[in-house]
Amino acid sequence: MNLHEYQGKEILNSFGVEIQRGIVATTPKEAVEAAKKLTEQTGTGWHVIKAQVHAGGRGKGGGVKLAKNIKEVEEIAGKIIGMDLVTPQTSAEGKRVHQVLVAEDVYYPGDNEPEEYYMSVLLNRSTGRNMIMYSTEGGMDIETVAEETPHLIFTEEIDPAVGLLGFQARRVAFNLGLSGKAFKEMTKFVTALYKAYNESDSSLFEINPVLKTSDDRIIAVDAKVSIDDNALFRHKDYMEMRDKREENSVEVEAKEKGLNYVDLDGNVGCMVNGAGLAMATMDLIKQAGGEPANFLDVGGTADAERVEAAFKLILKDPSVKAILINIFGGIVRCDRVAQGVIDAYKNMGTIHVPIIVRLQGTNADIAKKLIDDSGLDVQSAIEFQEAADKVKEVLS
Ligand code: GDP
Ligand code: MN
């Protein structure tokens, strides 16, 4: 589950990580109130107005703007709220902005120039350990840094048995070239950040930029946080942070119906039982010259109701030109699935794309007969290859 910047910062703050403080607003009027409140709390007269959408690169797209007085807060918030923000990480249509974070300006002038760093905590899948990845090149695309100046990216791996050790936090601060107060602040920052990542069961905490202010404070200016869905049951308070408006609407609906669905770009819808078979089916579709339009695992009980729900989900995608149903009857009997397909089809009236059903396993022959005798525009297959050939046929 991905979070908004303001939610990520709330979590960081609860673990003692210093953040750029802010208040979320859904209207220009609320933004003005937020700015006034922040001025009372922090003494700042300048504010940054930041679009809250699940996409990075907001600054480049005009979704992060500095306001030097209350009038500008109102104007800028009015422009950003309701806009379709296009960034390098969104589609061409962009993402609708429903709310902004009104934050204190932390790039204030002082003894030193403010400096931006990059820092993230994530799982290194090849070693199976968490790591802190960081760089002096903050504020910009880390992918670009990785490509052009990979020697400026450092990593610190954490032994799960002992956790992050003091010398490791100090090494991070050292490699970032810090000394004195900033060095101490950075070791505190890194320690608290790792604790936040670990105890919130997250899969990613990306802070870009981490800022060294002109008076040598170290603070999180941005926060990209992903919490592991499988651990959400342990964090009821985080569960409430889910913003369904930011997620794929078909995927949200599928989740509510208990179906495992991932939207993809292709033209062949698939309905399969079991994740492994679903992956194999997607390969099959590719081999036949098509592209899967989705991953869909209907699970063990493919009754008429589930099949119908799955049909409806698949058909919401206008690029679907054919549907391949591939079910292995192990626990569930093929004839029951076939009956489910037939009932669902009849319930839905007409379906305007060809359907190929491959049922293999217990009672596969009875199932094939049911489908063939149903009089519906559904083609049946028993072998994997046969199904692939039929997909190829209907696509050409
Ligand atoms: P992103 O573009 O989606 O990654 O959003 P960020 O939160 O990282 O903000 C983008 C950029 O806005 C930062 O890299 C900063 O350069 C700038 N920015 C953020 N906060 C402030 C602030 O308080 N004052 C000023 N002057 N600039 C800021
Ligand atoms: Mn950023």
Task: Label residue 348 by pLDDT band (50, 70, 90).
Answer: confident
Known catalytic residue: 118? yes
Which range is least confidently modeled, 45-54, 62-71, 387-396? 387-396
Q: State whether the beta carbon of 141 lies less than 6 angstroms from ligand 1.
A: no
Known catalytic residue: 72? no
Q: In sequence order, which residues have a C-beta less than 8 Å from that of residue 326 and are 6 or more positions away?
A: 270, 271, 272, 277, 278, 281, 284, 358, 387
Q: What's the mean pLDDT in 120-149?
A: 94
Q: State whether the beta carbon of 114 lies less than 6 angstroms from ligand 1.
A: no
Task: Label residue 383 by pLDDT band (50, 70, 90).
Answer: confident
Q: State whether the beta carbon of 48 lies less than 6 angstroms from ligand 1.
A: yes
Residue 127 has pLDDT above 90, yes or no: yes
Q: State whether the beta carbon of 105 lies less than 6 angstroms from ligand 1.
A: yes
Q: What's the mean pLDDT in 165-184?
A: 98
Please give the share of the chain, as a percent, with pLDDT higher than 90. 73
Please write the tens of the pLDDT for every residue from 59-110: 999 999 999 999 999 999 999 999 999 999 998 999 999 999 999 999 999 9
Please write the tens of the pLDDT for every residue from 186-233: 999 999 999 999 999 999 999 999 999 999 999 999 999 999 999 999
3-state SS, residue 237: helix
CA 186, 190, 196, 199 torsion-angle sign: negative
Which pLDDT value is given to residue 382? Answer: 80
Take residue 76 and report the two structure tokens written for it.
């800028």
368-to-98, 390, 395 alpha-carbon distances in Å: 50, 15, 22
Closest CA to 298 of 282, 264, 331, 275: 275
Closest CA to 3 of 210, 223, 194: 223
Say if residue 157 carries a ligand binding annotation.
Answer: no
Give the active site residue among 6, 104, 117, 118. 118
Nearest ligand, CA 58: 1
Q: What's the mean pLDDT in 232-244?
A: 95
Say if residue 230 carries a ligand binding annotation.
Answer: no
Q: What's the mean pLDDT in 10-15?
A: 98
Q: Whose CA is nearest to atom 14 of ligand 1?
A: 139
Say if residue 332 carries a ligand binding annotation.
Answer: yes
Residue 388 has pLDDT above 90, yes or no: no
Residue 304 has pLDDT above 80, yes or no: no
